Amino acid sequence: DFGYGHKSNNPDIVTPSNQISSMAENRNNHPYALWSGKSMSAAQVTGAIALLREAHPDWENKDLISSITQTYQPIVIKPTHNDEIGSLRLNEAIHASVSIHPNELIFKLDSQAKKEKITYPLSFKSLIEGKKTYNIDVQWIDKPKAATVHVPETITLSKGDSKIVDVTLHKGDEQEKEGNYRGKLMIRGDGMFNSIPFILQVSPPKNTKTLEDMSFNVESKGNQYQFVVDLPIKANFLYSF
Give pLDDT tens digits for 142-201. 889 889 999 999 999 998 899 999 999 999 888 888 899 999 899 888 767 778 889 999
CA 195 to chain centre: 11
Q: Which pLDDT does position 207 carry in this prediction?
A: 55
DSSP at 236: P
Would the pLDDT of 1 be above 50?
no
Q: Which pLDDT does position 22 carry in this prediction?
A: 78
3-state secondary structure of 231: coil
Q: Which pLDDT does position 206 carry in this prediction?
A: 63
> Once rounded to an integer, what is the mean pLDDT over residues 51-79?
83
Q: Considering the chain, what percentage of its residues have pLDDT values greater than 70?
A: 73
Question: Beta strand pairing status for 105-110 and 192-203?
Answer: parallel
pLDDT band at 68 (very low <50, low <70, confident <90, very high): confident
- Residues of 46-83 as b/e, b for ≥16 C-beta within 10 angstroms? eebbeebeeebeebeeebbbbbbbbbbeeeeeeeeeee
Instruction: Compute the distance between CA of residue 59 and CA of residue 50 in angstroms, rounded to an integer.
Output: 12
Would the pLDDT of 232 be above 60?
no
User: In Å, how far are 44, 113, 153, 219 from 147, measured between CA atoms?
Assistant: 39, 11, 18, 50
pLDDT in tens, 17-47: 778 777 776 666 777 778 787 788 888 888 8
3-state secondary structure of 61: helix
Cα angle 17-186-92, degrees, rounded to a multiple of 5: 50
Q: Comparing C-alpha atoms, which of 208, 105, 88, 222 is closest to residue 166?
A: 105
DSSP at 14: B
Q: Report cis status (omega within 30 of 0) of the bond before 102.
A: yes
Instruction: Report if pTM > 0.75.
Output: no
Q: For the purposes of burial, counting CB atoms within 10 Å of the CB of 41, is it exposed (0-12), middle (13-18) or buried (19 or more)?
A: buried
Beta bridge partners of 163: 124
pLDDT band at 78 (very low <50, low <70, confident <90, very high): low
Instruction: Compute the distance between CA of residue 211 and CA of residue 28 in angstroms, rounded to an integer.
Output: 67
